[in-house]
Amino acid sequence: WLKTGVLPMEMLAPQEPPEPSECGPTMSRRASISPVSMDPLHDAENHAKLLQHEVELNPKQNHIRTDMEMWLIDRIPELYGVDDSEDLREDLQEDGQASKLEDVLQALTDPVLARKLLEDWLHDVPDPARDAFVKEFLSKAENILRVS
């Protein structure tokens, strides 16, 4: 074929694809993407996420919510025996406190879930102090939604 410049037919004919065992396992999708990782309701560790829709509050409720955020800024460091929330893990700092308040406000229709959210968040606070704090937190949060 080098002399004539014409390739033999066997070189032009399409070849059968190799058997999968010859190339390794076949994959139907990219390994880094799974249906769960594409699900916006789960995080990277496959934990369910709460939907982050802000609760609709009127101006009076918003004022009470702001007061509660200020209460949290004082109380959380006190629970942990530190002077400033900057000395706490990130989810206990001011942004984390506001986020947890939003989560609880959304979950108040299910009191068991609301309590669990707080207990999990404050997992490393001694039980008596945590229980008293959770009770007060839930009472204040319920009051926000009760006010009209």
Give residue 114's domain range. 59-146
Q: Is residue 10 part of a domain?
A: no
Q: How long is the chain?
A: 148
Residue written as token pair 């001011």: 94
Q: Is residue 138 part of a domain?
A: yes
Count helices and strands (H / E) in the chain.
Answer: 6, 0
Bridge partners of 42?
48
Q: Tell me, what amino acid is at 10?
A: E
Q: Is residue 2 part of a domain?
A: no
From the number of C-beta atoms within 10 Å of its C-beta (0-12, 13-18, 19+), residue 95 rates as exposed
Q: Is residue 50 part of a domain?
A: no
pLDDT per position as a tens digit, 107-121:
999 999 999 999 999
Say what the pLDDT of residue 56 is: 86
Q: Is residue 9 part of a domain?
A: no
Contacts of 51 (CB under 8 A, 6+ apart): 41, 106
Q: Domain count for the chain, please give it.
A: 1
pLDDT per position as a tens digit, 38-79:
554 545 555 555 445 577 889 999 999 999 999 999 999 999
Comparing CA positions, the residue from 104, 139, 142 lying closest to residue 120 is 104
Say what the pLDDT of residue 115 is: 97
